[in-house]
Amino acid sequence: MNSIPGSLHTLFTLIRLELRSEWRQQNVLGGILLYAATAVFVAYMTFRIFPGPSWVAVYWLIMLFSSTHALGRSFGPSNGARLLFEQSLASPGLYLASKVIYNIFLLGLIHLLTTLCMLVWGGNPFQDLLRFSWVAVVGHIGLSGALTLIAAISRKASGQTTLMVVLSFPVVLPLMLLLIRLSMHALDGLNPVAGQTYLAQLIALDTLILSTAFLLFPYIWRD
């Protein structure tokens, strides 16, 4: 029976392995970040000015495509030998947790770059930028859980990109709708109480996504 300190040590070890793997593929991560920055710049050159709703729409579109591309690689680099090593190192739950946590940080990095570029080129239309940041963080948790699980399913299907896109749509769509609604509340500076229902729905959806991921992943792991 694994102790809590032992499990945490294994979890941090797996996250370090993810970081080392990412470091060896800096060009891929750099390409994703460059895509996000370029998309913002193209939008700026097209519109020149971002009204509040347009700012929100452009931001979440960029985050959606960037996160799908970035997290779709979650299980790509593992060859047979490495996968066997990882399976012997940790339980399915710990392995998935390491992937989800790492992907949350990865989405945070994309978020920081995208938001910075949007603020520089599009200005700050938010009445409550801090609330928007918290909404984004909660959204990243749900996106990470959903896309990590879908990436694992896609890998079992020989890494078919089409399957990743098709499975992502019905899961990510309700999440994106809630994130846009809450972002609009932060944009208008509405009383936080006005958005409590949507925030509760977002947290519930995140919980459902993560619970489903941890329930299903062991079966994918054993396959």
pLDDT at 76 over 70: no
d(Cα 175, Cα 146) in Å, to the nearest integer?
Answer: 10
Place of tokens 């970040």: 33
pLDDT of residue 77: 52
The predicted model gives 68-80 an average pLDDT of 71
d(Cα 34, Cα 20) in Å, to the nearest integer?
Answer: 21
Within 10 A of 24 (CB to CB), how many other CB atoms are there?
Answer: 10
Mean pLDDT of the chain: 84
Per-residue pLDDT tens over the stretch 115-129: 999 898 888 888 888
Q: How many domains does the chain have?
A: 1
pLDDT band at residue 212, thresholds of 50, 70 and 90?
very high
Q: What percent of the chain has pLDDT over 90?
A: 33
pLDDT of residue 85: 67
Is residue 40 within 8 A of residue 77, CB to CB? The reply is no
Range of the domain at 181: 4-222
